[in-house]
A and B are shown apart, each in its own frame.
Chain A
Amino acid sequence: MNVGDILIPTPTAESAIAVTIAIAGMLAVSAGIGLYYYKKAKSFDEWMVGHRDMGPIITGFALIATWMSGWAIFGNAGLSYTYGWSGSWLIGLMNLMGLSLCVVLGYRMRRYAALGAKTVPEAARIRFDSRLVQGLAGITMAILLLVYSIGQFKAMASVWKLTTGTDWLFSLVITAVLCAAYIAIGGYTGTNVSMALQGAILMVVGIVFGVASIFWAGGPAQIANSIANSTFVKPGGNVTSISIGGYTAPLGASFPAFDWFGVMGAMFMFLFMATGFPHNIARFIGCKKTTKKEYSILMVIVAVGCLTPLMVGAMGFAGRSVWGAQLMSSGPIYGDAAAALVSMSVGGTVGGAIFAMAVFAAAVSTLAGMVMIMATNITRDLIANARPKTSSKGLLGLSRLLVIPFVVIPLWWTYTSPPPVLAEFMSGSAVAQAGIFFFVIAVSMYWKRATKWGAVATIIYGMVMALMHPAVYGARFPPFNSWGVWAMALMFGCAAVYVVVSLLTKPVSEEKLAKLFEKS
């Protein structure tokens, strides 16, 4: 097969109708589930964590849904399409290593839930007996998640534009309206059950389309041959002579796979961030006590789910093989359009609609989870933390109002300055979350000697280092213009600060620690 043998699909009236029906249907069912659980709950707290009776299947699929955002189901094809094999590191070649570590470490969240934690920063307050740590963790999470949520809007608006043919601004507005409506009528908490449904949808759709796209492009050998002979084309269409046929590509120091040091940075990012993502580890707050068999089922679901990002990556390789670099000339979506267009070419109108539904399922579940966490960061971790007597009704009302800024701010950012390659942009926020919260939250649940000042110093160091990202201030301060140096300095710097400051300061009393570290 030669480049250009299969034409790039364009949206039609039929595809627009099919996409609208598929997305509206999925959101309606998800919101219906959310509404059902909202009405069933006797209080706001119960709504957030239920009766801590979620089984391994629900927890496993919900974890897949929050882990795989627009990045995984949409941006990954953009990475493989744009960067060839060197894009594989941000696709998450070994993302299962990170998520399985989250399953192993995150399970202890149940212990904190039993002691009254409803949010991840509340778990930090219980661990360190410190409202300061809770407040600081809450603000930090809100900032980093706000950046991360931009990716969800770009993913949803892009797939909407590509499958319906509407312009970029309208696509953004319609996706924001759909999201806000979904969140307002019951999906606000993104209950574990509706998230599990979304996780199952995106997992099955991603795997099916990944396999189908490989055959659509003429088979694995044909794709490998095409990628081996491809060179990097910049967003906008400028062709370079840099090969994308290897697992590193000298595209500039700010590119994670520029060298093997950067590759190690990307690998450690995936290892830490699955546990560091607050919307991931929060899944275990509502998890029930499991048997060993149930726990194994949870791990198997996670293992199969982690195949999805690689399958979506395969769609990008297939698109590059069939269409060459044509998509790199078409902004503002560029190579990120690969997954949606391949799904339309492989599966026709219905296939495109089903894939668009999966993108929305991935993005909206992550977005709802993040909006929930950001809103409670403000209401519970800041306001209720500072003024414990604030009424729960007032907090609930304010939480709902906060949905508006947490939807509008990233929406405006996406419109005025959409990131050229989605996943690359989001990795900046991901590294900061990985470096800070892997240690402050996860390691602290297992290391008795961790102190509140160790946690505070780690958060401050991590946030200052986040500003040194090569695309922010790092370019002016070598060697932080190198993504690998920046990422490793952030993550392992956080580790060093956390350990050293903890060892130099006084831990919580043995009496208080005893209930957190008791042996089973």
Chain B
Amino acid sequence: MKLTATLVLSLVALAICFAAVPIMAATVGGWYAYWGGMLISVVWAAILLWLKLTKYWEGDECG
């Protein structure tokens, strides 16, 4: 149950990151949107990495 809640919250955070890129492009524009898209992608990757390492780690299987 706890894992499901964490997963749902993480997916919501990922969706916000994804949506934030075009929103920033439409509103702020220019270089801020250009490098901002990269920064948001770093947050996305960090969330994915955290999920993988803490909840879905499979590194110790099938040698």
Contacts and interface: CB of A to CB of B under 8 A. Distances in A.
Interaction A to B: yes
Interface of A: 85, 88, 93-97, 100-101, 103-104, 107-108, 110-111, 114, 220, 223-224, 227-228, 246-247, 260, 263-264, 267, 271, 289-292, 295-296, 299, 302-303, 306-307, 310, 313, 518, 520
B3 interface: no
**Closest CB pairs A-B (n = 9):** A100-B45, A96-B41, A520-B61, A93-B37, A247-B25, A114-B62, A94-B41, A520-B58, A97-B44
B17 to A, nearest CB: 7
A281 to B, nearest CB: 16
A272 to B, nearest CB: 12
Contacts of B57: 292, 520
A111 B53 CA distance: 17
B58 A108 contact: yes
B62 A101 contact: no
Contacts of B21: 93-94, 267
A70 B59 CA distance: 33
Contacts of A520: 57-61
Contacts of A299: 45, 49
B38 A306 contact: yes
A107 B58 contact: yes
Nearest to B25: A247
23 contacts: A93-B21, A93-B25, A93-B33, A97-B41, A103-B48, A107-B52, A223-B31, A247-B33, A267-B18, A267-B21, A289-B59, A290-B59, A291-B59, A295-B49, A295-B59, A299-B45, A303-B42, A303-B45, A306-B41, A307-B38, A518-B61, A520-B58, A520-B60
A183 to B, nearest CB: 32
Given A110-B62, A220-B31, A267-B18, A96 B25 contact: no
A271 B41 CA distance: 11
B18 to A, nearest CB: 7
A85 B29 contact: yes
Which of the four size classes fits the interface of chain B? 20 to 34
Nearest to B63: A289
Contacts of A108: 58
Contacts of B25: 85, 88, 93, 247, 263
A305 B27 CA distance: 27
Contact of A310 (B22, B38, B51, B63): B38
Central interface residue in A223, A228, A260, A303, by most chain B CB within 10 Å: A303
Nearest to B42: A303
B26 interface: yes
Given A104-B52, A299-B45, A96 B58 contact: no
Contacts of A100: 41, 44-45, 48-49
Interface in B10-37: 17-18, 21-22, 25-26, 29-31, 33-35, 37
B40 A224 contact: no
Contact of A88 (B18, B34, B41): B34
Nearest to A107: B58
Nearest to A290: B59
A104 B46 CA distance: 11
A292 B59 contact: yes
Contacts of A303: 42, 45
B63 A114 contact: yes
A110 to B, nearest CB: 6
Contacts of A88: 25, 33-34, 37
Nearest to A293: B53
A307 B59 CA distance: 27
